Amino acid sequence: MNQAGASAAVVRDATRELMVRWQAVRESWKDAKAEEFASHFLDGLPEEADRAIRVMADLERLISKIHGDCE
């Protein structure tokens, strides 16, 4: 796995861990500010992380092609 692949794994794992921890926090933080925080910072985050991971995969393929073309 090259650097782009490793970075994608970090993003995937970190996003998963963040969402798990957020669910644990939500068990005790149930006011309007919690909703505001989730809306502002977390809603849509998994989808954005997936999009970033796809872009990283595209970059990985492009970098491999460039390396192949330069050899």
Q: Where are the domains of the chain?
A: 3-70
pLDDT at 5 over 80: no
pLDDT at 26 over 70: yes
d(CA 70, CA 57): 20
| pLDDT value for 6 | 85
pLDDT at 2 over 90: no
- What's the pLDDT tens digit per position in 43-66? 999 999 999 999 989 988 998 899
- The residue that leads in pLDDT, 8 or 26, is 26
User: Is 0.85 topped by the overall pTM?
Assistant: no
